[in-house]
A and B are shown apart, each in its own frame.
Chain A
Amino acid sequence: MAKRDLDLGEDKVLLEHVRRTGKGFYITFSILVALTLWGIYAYLTQYRYGLGVTGLSRQIFWGVYITNFVFFIGISHAGTFISAILRVAKAEWRRPISRSAELTTVFILLFGVGSVLVDLGRPDRMLYVIRYPHFRSPLLWDVICITTYLTVSSICLYLALIPDVALLRDLGEKRKWLYQVLALGYRGTERQRHLLDRGISFMAILVIPVMITVHTVVSFVFAMTIQPMWHSAIFGPYFVVGAIFSGIAAVIVAIAVIRKVFHLEAYLKPVHFNNLGILLLVMTLLWFYFTAAEYVTVFYGSEPGEMSIFWSKLTGRFSLLFWIDFVLCFLIPLPILAFRKTRTILGTFIASTSIIIGMWLERFVIIVPTLTQQRLSIERAIYIPTWVEWSILAGCISFFLLLYLFFVKLFPIVPIWEVREGREKSIVEVGERIKTYLPGGGKE
C-alpha cells in the first residue's frame, strides 16, 4: 500500500480499540465467559437427562428454543438489510455502520442454527438430516436456506474486511501473521480495488433474495402445518417484516454501545441514528399493519379452532404477554420514532431495546398459544420455561457478545476503507450524480 494510504490522520481513532485493551475489556470478557459457561452447563444437564428438564410437555412441545430460533434468525436480517440494501440504493450514510450490521448477521445466525440443535431430542443424530434428507419437509428448506444465507453473508462480511486487514498488515500491527493470511495479498492496486468492488456489489445483490427466502421459509415451518393461527399465507411476509424490524433495532443498539464505549462519536453521528430511526419507524408501521391484517381476518372469519386461540391471546391466558408485546413493539417506539425531536441517539436506543424485547415476546406469542389449544386439545396445558431454558438463552446471547468482542479486538468495527472512500471519492461522485438528475447537467 502506498505511503499516503498508511497515514490514517484523524481515522486513527478507529484502530484504537484494536490496539489498546483496557480494564473494561477484561471485565466484560469475564462476565460473558461466565454466562456462556453457565449456558453450556445448562445444556449439558439437558443433554444428560433429556428435554424433560425444560418446561415443555406433550402438548406444548415447542417453546423458548424455537422462539429463540425464529428470533435470532430474525435479528440476522439486519446486516443484509442495512449493508446490502443501502449499498444498492447508494445511501452514502451507511458507510460507518455497514460492518457492525454484517457482523451481527453472521454471528447471530450461528445461534439461530444452534437453537434448533438445542431443541432436538437426539442431537447425536442431527446429521441424519443430510444423510437421509426428506425434501418435502419445510425443515429441510430451512437447512438449505440458512446454510446459503450463512455462507453468502460470511462472504459479504469477509470481502468488505479485506482492505482493512491489508491496512492492518501494512501498519505492522500485532498479530501480523493473521492479517497477512487474511489479506490474501491485497495491495490496494487499481485492479484489485475494482475486482473487490465488483465482488461486493455482486454479493450485495445476491444476499437480498436469499435473506427474504430465509425468513419466509422459517415462517413456513409454522404456516405449512394445518394448526389454527399458524396456517396462514401472511406468515411469510409477516415474518420477513418482523425480522427486518428487530434486525434494525439490534443494529441501532449495537452502534449506540460501540459509539459510547469506543468513543466513536465523530463517526457514528446523530444523523445515522436519525436515518436508521426513520427506517425503524417504517418497519414499526408495517409490523402493525401485518399484525392488524392477520388478527382482523381471523376475527371476522370466526372459525372456532382459530377463535379459541385468538381469544387466548387477546383476553385469555396469553393476554398479558400479548399486550406487553404490543406496547413494546408499537406503543413505545411509535411516538419516539415519529418525532424529529425524540429521534435522537437516546430515543432510538430506547425504542430499539423495547422492540428487541417485544419481538422476542411476539415470536413466543405466535408459537406457544397455538400449541396450547390445538383443534383437539384435551387438557389445558401450562408451559412455564425452566432455568435450563433461560440459562441457554442467556448463554446464547453472551456467547454472541463474546464473539462480537473478539472480532472488535482484532478488526476495526467501523470500516476504515469505506469511510475513506466516502471522503475521497463519493463526495465528488454524489455531486456528479445529482447533476444528472437536473436538466441539462452532467453525463447520463
Chain B
Amino acid sequence: MEIDRRGLLKAAGLSLLGLVGGSVWYVISRAKLPEPSPTPKTLVGKKWGMVIDLKKCWGTDGCTDCIDVCHRVHNVPRFGNPKDEIKWIWTVPYEKAFPEHQLEFIEEDVRARPVPVLCNQCDNPPCIKYCPTKATWRREDGVVMMDYHRCIGCRYCMAGCPYGSRSFNWKNPRPFIKKINFDFPTRTKGVVEKCNFCQERLIQGLLPACVEACKERALIFGDLNDPDSDVRRILRSRHTIQRHSELGTKPKVFYVL
C-alpha cells in the first residue's frame, strides 16, 4: 500500500488528536467526584466556635495538656527541631499573639505569657481561595477542612494564612509519631495540614480533644448559632478579642483576658 505525504500527515494528525482528546476526556470525565459530605444531623445549622479564657489558662504554669492530647490523637509527628516542625495547637508569647495591643504599657511578665493558638477556622478564610486544587475548603458548619489526598504540596495556602496556622510535611512524618492512633489518618511527606476543630469527634457528638483535656476549663467550645450555648453566653457577658480581626477573616476563636 502506498501512503502519500498528505495521507501520512492526516493519519498522524488524527492519531495525535485522538491521543490528546482521549487524555483530556480522561481528565474531565473523572473530575466530578462527589463532595465529601458531613453527617447532616450533627452539622446543619451549627457554627462551631471556641473561647479561650487566658486568666484560667495561666492558672497552671507550664501546662501543655491541650497540645499533647491534640498532637497525640491526630498523629502529629515530633521532629524536635523548628525547621521541620508540625503543630496544630501551640503557644506563643502574648506580645506575638496580639502585637497590635499597646504593649509598652503592659507588664513584662504578661507580655511573655503563653497564649494558645490554633487554626482560627475563619468565617472568611483567606487560605482556601489560594488552593489550586480545592484541597482545602470551608464546611457548612464553618470548619476549614483539608484533604490530604488532594493536596499537591504547593504551600500557597500557607502563604495565604495570616496566622501561620498551617504546617507542611517536609519529611515522611510516620517514623516521628510516637504511637500511631489508628482512628485518625497519618499524612505523607509533601502535604499541608492543620487543626480541623476535631471534626472527627464532632461527628460523634464529642467535644474537641483539647477542650476535653483542659483541666482549668479554659477552652470553651460550642455552637455560635445557638444563643444558649456556653460560647455565646461568654461572648455576651465578657469582652473578647480575636487575633487580627482587622484583616476581615472573622476568626471563630475568641480570647478573654
Contacts and interface: CB of A to CB of B under 8 A. Distances in A.
Interface string A230-242: 1000000000000
A139 B168 contact: no
B191 A121 contact: yes
A378 B247 contact: no
A56 interface: yes
Nearest to A60: B83
A376 B130 contact: no
Contacts of A120: 152-154, 190
Q: How large is the interface on A (under 10, 10 to 19, 20 to 34, 35 or more residues)?
A: 35 or more
A132 B190 contact: no
- Which of A59, A128, A371 has the most CB atoms of chain B within a 10 A radius of its CB? A128
Contact of B168 (A61, A374, A375, A381): A61
A139 B156 contact: yes
A134 interface: yes
B131 interface: yes
A49 B188 CA distance: 11
Contacts of A128: 133, 135, 150, 152
Interface string A113-139: 000100111110111111111101111
Nearest to A136: B129
Interface string B96-125: 110110000000000000000100000000
Q: Which secondary structure characterizes the binding site on chain A?
A: loop
Contacts of A138: 130, 156
A338 to B, nearest CB: 39
B154 A139 contact: yes
A121 B152 contact: yes
A57 interface: yes
A13 interface: no
Nearest to A127: B27
- Which of A116, A120, A371 has the most CB atoms of chain B within a 10 A radius of its CB? A120
A136 B131 CA distance: 8
B84 interface: yes
B92 A376 contact: yes
Contact of B247 (A56, A132, A226): A226
A133 B171 contact: no
Nearest to A137: B132
Interface string A59-81: 10110000000000000000000
B132 A50 contact: no
Interface in A86-132: 116, 119-123, 125-132
Nearest to B163: A376
A121 B154 contact: yes
20 contacts: A50-B169, A51-B168, A51-B190, A52-B83, A58-B164, A61-B168, A120-B152, A121-B153, A121-B169, A121-B192, A126-B152, A128-B135, A131-B30, A132-B31, A134-B131, A134-B133, A221-B156, A225-B126, A225-B160, A376-B164
CB-based closest 8 A-B pairs:
A121-B153, A121-B190, A52-B170, A50-B189, A52-B171, A139-B132, A57-B83, A137-B132
